[in-house]
Amino acid sequence: MRGYFGKKTATAMALMATTSMAYANDVEVLHWWTSGGEAAALNVLKDDLAGQNIGWQDMPVAGGGGTQAMTVLRARVTSGNPPTAVQMLGFDITDWAMEGALADLNGVASDGGWAEVVPAALQQFAVYEDQWVSVPVNVHSTNWVWANKAIMDELGLSEPQTWDEFVAAMQAAQDAGYVGLAHGGQPWQDATIFDGVAMGVGGPEFYQSAFVDLDEDALGSDTMKEAFDRMGVLRGFVDDNFSGRDWNLASAMVINQEAAFQVMGDWAKGEFLNAGKVPGEDFLCFRLPGSQDQVTFNSDQFAMFSQGDAVSAEQAALAEAILSPSFQIAFNKVKGSVPARTDLDASDLDACGQRAYEEFRAAAASGNLYGSMAHGHANPAAVKNAMYDVITAHFNGEFDSATAVEELVTAVDIAK
């Protein structure tokens, strides 16, 4: 292996010296799945491994976007004590693969036929220089709206099909004393909303040009200004206590009939299910109006950190379990996401899950899967974070839309 991780002897000594190392037949897993629904989903994987006599050393780091977890990971790696496996998103995987830090999973992937069932858009991050370095756990799409059905029924609202209808529905809820839009004021949450709003305003060609290709004309366009204008409208339906609120607490506002809507990726569904709510009866799910035909995604993957010359037996077992058909269905049924492989019978998923899975498979077949800017699947962290800063500053009233567009162009240019 290259770089630091080629120093096998030093790494082994550091691992022996630490008191937090996992024992033989254990996997130590760093992740940020700490909400109720996420923890319930993770138990599916723990139980699967327990059936193989493999223990689980849990290393949770709270923070929905994973930023804190990546800081902790860097400290662990620098000290010569990488975890067995780490939950990662998008270009973070590529960055660690470039450092030579990740184990070679090609043997497990070949035995499992991963290349035939995992879409190319996900393989872009799971495979580095022809080497499988991570295992996709799921596929989340990010441009969803979650709605309290009781509030909608009370106000005589139907599922909005256009942006104007969505604004009118939030206004009706606010006029009736509810919070129109449940939201947590954290940069990754602001960007998650912006993701769907920008796709709804400009469509896939604009999204590709602006957020993937980083075309300066697209970034500085009137279309981008319209996206910021719409964010300003949404800000008017958020309650005054939103700053710093975790995403699952915003979901709880919808669950508890305090708020009518939340714009959030489909991990939010896990919170509704964990609270005993039923799709179609207690809550509704629909794409952010304007982006109905598009799939912007992020994919949670587990990267295996090199523990020596070859992938360990425990890492191989973990990787094999993650992409097994039975686990993919069982886990994603609880998590709110959809399977990362395209060859499964999804009839055990709920109505929202079945719809999301069919849309995912169709997008994979047509090459129409778009990696989410907000979740590190469109550009590396430096660019993503530069966009975060501008989006959040605008949402908090520091810039008007025209200024935000100018700042976005400048920030991306510096970050590239």
186-200: pLDDT as tens digits? 999 999 999 999 999
- Using CA atoms, how far apart are residues 200 and 287, in angstroms rounded to an integer? 10
Average pLDDT of 262-274?
92
pLDDT at 363 over 50: yes
Higher pLDDT, residue 292 or 91: 91
28-51: pLDDT as tens digits? 999 998 888 788 888 988 998 999
Per-residue confidence at 336, pLDDT binned at 50, 70, 90? confident
Given a contact cutoff of 8 angstroms between Cβ atoms, the answer to whether 145 and 262 are in contact is: yes
Residues 6+ apart with CB under 8 A from 245: 183, 184, 185, 186
pLDDT at 1 over 80: no
- Using CA atoms, how far apart are residues 386 and 76, in angstroms rounded to an integer? 26
pLDDT at 25 over 80: no
pLDDT at 344 over 70: yes
Per-residue confidence at 234, pLDDT binned at 50, 70, 90? very high
Q: What is the pLDDT of residue 4?
A: 33
Per-residue confidence at 385, pLDDT binned at 50, 70, 90? very high
Q: What average pLDDT is seen over the chain? A: 91
Q: What is the pLDDT of residue 3?
A: 38
Domain edges within the chain: 3-140+297-366, 148-296+376-415
pTM for this model (two decimals): 0.83
Q: What is the pLDDT of residue 17?
A: 34
- Using CA atoms, how far apart are residues 196 and 146, in angstroms rounded to an integer? 13
First to last CA, the chain: 28
73-90: pLDDT as tens digits? 999 999 999 999 999 999
- Using CA atoms, how far apart are residues 337 and 299, in angstroms rounded to an integer? 9
285-335: pLDDT as tens digits? 999 999 887 889 999 999 999 987 788 999 999 999 999 999 999 999 888
Higher pLDDT, residue 37 or 276: 276
Q: What is the pLDDT of residue 5?
A: 33
- Taking CA atoms, 212 is separated from 215, 221, 272, 372, 378, in Å, by 8, 15, 32, 9, 5
Q: What is the pLDDT of residue 24?
A: 52
Same fold across 3-140+297-366 and 148-296+376-415 = yes
Average pLDDT of 338-357?
95
Average pLDDT of 343-359?
94
Given a contact cutoff of 8 angstroms between Cβ atoms, the answer to whether 295 and 369 are in contact is: yes
Angle between helices 187-207 and 381-395 (to 10 degrees): 110
The fold of the 148-296+376-415 domain, in CATH, is: D-Maltodextrin-Binding Protein; domain 2 (3.40.190)
Average pLDDT of 84-110?
94
Average pLDDT of 380-386?
94
Average pLDDT of 201-228?
97
CATH number of 3-140+297-366: 3.40.190.10
pLDDT at 2 over 70: no
152-206: pLDDT as tens digits? 999 999 999 999 999 999 999 999 999 999 999 999 999 999 999 999 999 999 9
